[in-house]
A and B are shown apart, each in its own frame.
Chain A
Amino acid sequence: MNAPHIAGALTRRHFLKVGAAATGGLLLELSLPGAQAFAALDSGQPLAPNAFIRIARDGTVTLVMHKVEMGQGTYTSLPQLLAEELEVSLDSVRLEHAPPDNARYADPMLGAQITGGSTSIRSSWTPLREAGATARELLIRAAAKTWDADPAQLRARNGEVFHPTQRKSLRYGELVDIAATLPVPEKVALKDAKDFRLVGKPVKRLDGPGKVNGTAAFGLDTLRPGMKIASVAASPVFGGTLAGIDEAAALKVPGVRQVVKLENAVAVVADHTWAAKQGLAACAPRWHEGAHAGLDLAQVTSQLEQASLQPGAVAHRAGDAGAVLAGASRRVDAVYHSPFLAHATMEPVNCTVEVKNGEVDIWVGTQVPVIAQGVAAGVAGVATEKVRIHNHLLGGGFGRRLEVDFIAQAVAIAKQVRAPVKVVWSREEDVQHDMYRPYYVDRLSAALDDKGMPVAWTHRIAGSSIMARFFPPAFKDGVDPDAVDGAVELPYALPAMQVEFLRVEPPGIPTAFWRGVGPTRNGFVVEGFIDELAAAAGQDPVAYRRALIKDARARAVLDLAAQKASWDTPRPPRKGVRGGRGVALMHVFGSYIAQVAEVEVNDDGEVRVVRMTCAIDCGFAVNPDTVAAQMEGGIVFGLSAALWGEVKIANGRVQQSNFHDYRVMRMNDMPRIDVHVVPSAEAPGGAGEPGTSLAIPALANAVFAATGTRIRALPIGEQLQKA
């Protein structure tokens, strides 16, 4: 998900409070800057910290943060920022999952305790370094007080304050109690980038060792004394309800303890997973299929196509694109289709819950602990503070764990079970009861001048508004700011432009954010259409984009990607395949990215991705190796979707079920991937999502270059196979 409702760049202003920790040692409470923090500052309200740093008497540094680790490297890059200024080693910083507490841990860009939208580094970059520098300064002053020395003479290094001339030192742990009594320095100096030891360096992930030896704990690894396992089947038809089960047959399975009926699902509770699964099969649930029993994908797409013929809410308007188009001698029109997509995280959906004595404990991996707590409290019928969320590493998020449907379900089951119960969805349940990246229909038109350059551009987006459900205040005047992200602020100079959004919700089908969110679909559509214009103008796709670019950073990544991909050197022909390269360029999530895809299409119409070249300028890269890893992984995620990703609906049911029919990239499908991270001193941009957003249009444009077939609907699938 994205953070479109907070305008402008983050500034350095924020709050900081220092004091003694309850357990002894130094406690820093800081408030990461954002709209709320600024409002509070202006109205003189007290400090509302949303991150905590504890330095204990044994010198351990603990950073309690609102961000979760789902592979993006946050649990390494955030400690890097702190450790740099605090002058401690990276491995002396422990990062703790924050408990749910919106007042404390809200992300300033998102306005809530959420990990998503490629925001973690962007919102923490300055305040975490300032907090580290403040703590360092306090510890230096504490040493100065102890030695009756001038603080300016003292230096901090590797968890110690030392006196360079008198050759003596004190460890931080010995100074924390004095430091906690000192006033907060008015101003602290941040280190010069040339002195960085950790920030900007490709330091190793802190979560690496646990993830290669099997000890890393995901939600599914929860073990509680007396815990039961529940297997679940929800109505296979959207909106259906449970009609009946053979409870006796389920209870006959050895190890099955209980059958729990919910309105739209049945859960079989057992001593172990195998019994639960067999019990679920034995109970053979029957369903009232309800209003969506006849729903097919074709109905959804025709509904969207019809709706998109009507004007939408205007998201962006510059000049009078309609008038220019009406008078244009040359125009290009296109309709793009983007399918429903499942998240298919490697860790299937699961949640462990214990309801006992009016209190609820939840062991889960979630991107939204506060929302989870609220929903659980509602389902359990207890006050919010009676719900404890024990967060875990996430076995993939991609937006799926921004949702709490499965947490609500697990609590509803656990309410009826007198033991902790781990609710585990099968992969089939995970795919068929996902909340899907919505289906969208995009209509675009452009007027070209006599040189083939665009003089007017209109883009109408029709589909679900996730923001209207997820964060209603952001859905204003009929415009979903995420759904148009990547469609409005293009890196190209277009004299007349209009972007519209039409909210059309698919009947009964739940929709949700999916990696790269708005920009992932808009990238496919906008960069595909720009490519169409270049083709209509008879121009090279890189040269055409270059002529339209209005921003030096965008031009630099485009040039770099083109050069590294040998864009100007023709591919040597290979027998039996048609080859081609395609390019895409975007400025999204605060980063500039260009990618070039190189493909080969054989006589059977099968696409093989040979090589992906990516150039990213994400501003200052806190951990360039993590940025490269996010590009590599984001590209693979995008290629899976572009080549095969599609959730189809027939008779109100999802037709895909597991990795055999929801195909994703495997080792043997892999192209070579080259990532080039542009050195930059600009403020950091996001990296978690944009790799995905760019890979899709680069691939689609490469397919066009190879075959002459324009990909206007995803996935590419079997579109190139000869009839």
Chain B
Amino acid sequence: MTTLNVNGRDVAVDLPADTPLLWALRDGLHMNGTKFGCGMSLCGACTVHVDGQATRACVTPLSAVAGKKVTTIEAVGDSDVGRRVQQAWIDLDVVQCGYCQSGQIMSATALLAKTPRPSDEDIDAAMSGNICRCGTYVRIRKAIRQAAGMPAEDAA
């Protein structure tokens, strides 16, 4: 039994301590917003926040998050930054198939929480771990800039 705090609530998960957080969320807590994409921290679909840090849940064992605060897509909108990111995603119609977007939004929110006005290089660095096969990257970049209150494109 591992106890952690998910979206502000203390929960006990009755799964082996080496179970990746991804499967603890999905199979143990039936929270399906966090997605499985690669299992090897290569695609970012499973991104959550652990104590505010963007973290790939597919390679993070439960034991590593015991007693920590985990935030998932289901509650990212509770923060001001997360809400602005979600709204920008809707305003710019970022999503296509949508499968990767939970992870994209979690990565983008973690970026803006730390770097409120990111440069294009900051965006590249924070977002390059998140793959989107529909190719929504153009709009993801614009949405991050909009959520940051910046113009859609760099003057350069």
> Is A45 an interface position by the 8 A CB rule?
no
CA distance A255 to B132 in the complex (A): 33
> Is B139 an interface position by the 8 A CB rule?
yes
Find residues 79-103 in chain B having any chain A CB closer than 8 Å to their own CB.
86, 89-90, 93-102
Give the distance to chain B from A395, nearest Cβ to Cβ, in Å.
Answer: 3
CA distance A254 to B32 in the complex (A): 23
> Is B43 an interface position by the 8 A CB rule?
yes
Contact with B97, one of A71, A229, A348, A625 (Cβ below 8 angstroms): A71
Closest chain A residue to B107, Cβ basis: A667
Give the distance to chain B from A288, nearest Cβ to Cβ, in Å.
Answer: 28
CA distance A666 to B90 in the complex (A): 21
Contact B102 A214 (CB under 8 A): yes
Closest chain A residue to B87, Cβ basis: A212
Closest chain B residue to A203, Cβ basis: B93
Given A223-B32, A633-B134, A636-B135, A346 and B97 touching (CB < 8 A)?
yes
> Is B15 an interface position by the 8 A CB rule?
yes
Contact with A667, one of B28, B39, B130 (Cβ below 8 angstroms): B130
A residues near B20, Cβ cutoff 8 Å: 274
A residues near B43, Cβ cutoff 8 Å: 346, 427, 659
Given A213-B77, A396-B134, A629-B139, A274 and B19 touching (CB < 8 A)?
yes
> Is A670 an interface position by the 8 A CB rule?
yes
> Is A221 an interface position by the 8 A CB rule?
yes
Contact A665 B135 (CB under 8 A): yes
In the complex, per-residue mask of B22-57: 1 if CB is within 8 Å of any chain A CB, else 0: 010011101111111111101101000000000000
For B, the interface residue count at a CB cutoff of 8 angstroms equals 59
Contact B30 A395 (CB under 8 A): no
B residues near A215, Cβ cutoff 8 Å: 33
Give the distance to chain B from A398, nearest Cβ to Cβ, in Å.
Answer: 7
> Is A593 an interface position by the 8 A CB rule?
no
Give the distance to chain B from A658, nearest Cβ to Cβ, in Å.
Answer: 6
Given A213-B74, A396-B133, A667-B130, A659 and B32 touching (CB < 8 A)?
no
CA distance A515 to B32 in the complex (A): 28
> Is B151 an interface position by the 8 A CB rule?
no
Closest chain B residue to A345, Cβ basis: B133
> Is A596 an interface position by the 8 A CB rule?
no
Contact B99 A213 (CB under 8 A): no
In the complex, per-residue mask of A209-239: 1 if CB is within 8 Å of any chain B CB, else 0: 1111111111011010000010000000000
Give the distance to chain A from B105, nearest Cβ to Cβ, in Å.
Answer: 6
> Is A31 an interface position by the 8 A CB rule?
no
Find residues 385-411 in chain A having any chain B CB closer than 8 Å to their own CB.
393-398
CA distance A633 to B74 in the complex (A): 26
> Is A77 an interface position by the 8 A CB rule?
no
Q: Which of B34, B35, B40, B134 has the most CB of A within 10 A?
A: B134
> Is A168 an interface position by the 8 A CB rule?
no
Contact A395 B99 (CB under 8 A): yes
CA distance A212 to B104 in the complex (A): 9
> Is B70 an interface position by the 8 A CB rule?
no
A residues near B95, Cβ cutoff 8 Å: 71, 205, 207-208, 211-212
Contact B89 A212 (CB under 8 A): yes
Give the distance to chain B from A668, nearest Cβ to Cβ, in Å.
Answer: 4
Contact B89 A659 (CB under 8 A): no
CA distance A230 to B56 in the complex (A): 23
B residues near A212, Cβ cutoff 8 Å: 86, 89-90, 94-95, 101, 105
Contact with A636, one of B19, B72, B137 (Cβ below 8 angstroms): B137
Contact B40 A346 (CB under 8 A): no
> Is A73 an interface position by the 8 A CB rule?
yes
Give the distance to chain A from B72, nearest Cβ to Cβ, in Å.
Answer: 7
Interface size class of A (residues with CB under 8 A): 35 or more
Give the distance to chain A from B103, nearest Cβ to Cβ, in Å.
Answer: 9
CA distance A403 to B138 in the complex (A): 30
CA distance A324 to B56 in the complex (A): 61
Contact B135 A70 (CB under 8 A): no
CA distance A28 to B18 in the complex (A): 55
B residues near A208, Cβ cutoff 8 Å: 89-90, 93-95
Closest chain A residue to B95, Cβ basis: A211
Give the distance to chain B from A153, nearest Cβ to Cβ, in Å.
Answer: 40
Find residues 93-152 in chain B having any chain A CB closer than 8 Å to their own CB.
93-102, 105, 123-125, 127-141
Contact with A637, one of B36, B93, B133 (Cβ below 8 angstroms): B133
Contact B102 A73 (CB under 8 A): no
CA distance A346 to B100 in the complex (A): 7
Contact B139 A427 (CB under 8 A): no
Closest chain A residue to B31, Cβ basis: A214
Contact A625 B133 (CB under 8 A): no
Q: Which of A71, A223, A275 has the most CB of B within 10 A?
A: A71
A residues near B97, Cβ cutoff 8 Å: 69-71, 345-347, 393-397
Given A220-B35, A346-B45, A394-B97, A665 and B23 touching (CB < 8 A)?
no
Closest chain A residue to B19, Cβ basis: A274
A residues near B15, Cβ cutoff 8 Å: 272, 274
CA distance A668 to B140 in the complex (A): 12
A residues near B94, Cβ cutoff 8 Å: 208, 212
A residues near B98, Cβ cutoff 8 Å: 71, 207, 210-211, 216, 393, 395
Contact B16 A254 (CB under 8 A): yes
In the complex, per-residue mask of A47-76: 1 if CB is within 8 Å of any chain B CB, else 0: 000000000000000000000011111000
Contact A348 B37 (CB under 8 A): yes
Find residues 579-599 in chain A having any chain B CB closer than 8 Å to their own CB.
none
Contact B96 A629 (CB under 8 A): yes
> Is A634 an interface position by the 8 A CB rule?
yes
CA distance A223 to B31 in the complex (A): 10
Contact with A396, one of B36, B99, B140 (Cβ below 8 angstroms): B99
CA distance A280 to B30 in the complex (A): 23
Contact A71 B134 (CB under 8 A): yes
B residues near A607, Cβ cutoff 8 Å: none
> Is A632 an interface position by the 8 A CB rule?
yes
A residues near B134, Cβ cutoff 8 Å: 71, 346, 396, 633, 636-637
Closest chain B residue to A625, Cβ basis: B93
> Is B73 an interface position by the 8 A CB rule?
yes
B residues near A274, Cβ cutoff 8 Å: 15-16, 18-20, 23, 27
> Is A574 an interface position by the 8 A CB rule?
no
CA distance A554 to B40 in the complex (A): 45
In the complex, per-residue mask of A496-521: 1 if CB is within 8 Å of any chain B CB, else 0: 00000000000000000000000000
Find residues 7-22 in chain B having any chain A CB closer than 8 Å to their own CB.
15-16, 18-20
Contact with A427, one of B37, B96, B101, B136 (Cβ below 8 angstroms): B37
Contact A205 B74 (CB under 8 A): no
Contact B37 A204 (CB under 8 A): no
Contact with A213, one of B33, B35, B93 (Cβ below 8 angstroms): B33
CA distance A204 to B35 in the complex (A): 24
Contact A347 B124 (CB under 8 A): no
Contact B26 A273 (CB under 8 A): yes
Closest chain A residue to B74, Cβ basis: A214
CA distance A330 to B37 in the complex (A): 52
Contact B141 A667 (CB under 8 A): yes
Closest chain A residue to B42, Cβ basis: A659
> Is A556 an interface position by the 8 A CB rule?
no
Beyond the given A347-B97, A667-B127, please list 11 additional residue pairs across the A-B interface where CB-CB is below 8 A.
A213-B77, A213-B86, A395-B98, A395-B99, A633-B135, A636-B134, A658-B40, A659-B38, A666-B137, A667-B141, A670-B138
Q: List 27 A-B contacts (CB under 8 A).
A: A72-B96, A207-B95, A208-B93, A208-B95, A211-B95, A212-B90, A214-B72, A214-B102, A216-B98, A220-B35, A223-B30, A223-B32, A271-B27, A273-B36, A346-B43, A346-B133, A395-B35, A426-B39, A629-B136, A633-B134, A633-B135, A633-B136, A637-B134, A659-B40, A664-B133, A666-B127, A670-B137
Interface residues of A (CB under 8 A from B): 69-73, 202, 204-205, 207-218, 220-221, 223, 229, 254-255, 271-275, 344-348, 393-398, 424, 426-427, 625-626, 629, 632-637, 658-660, 664-668, 670, 673
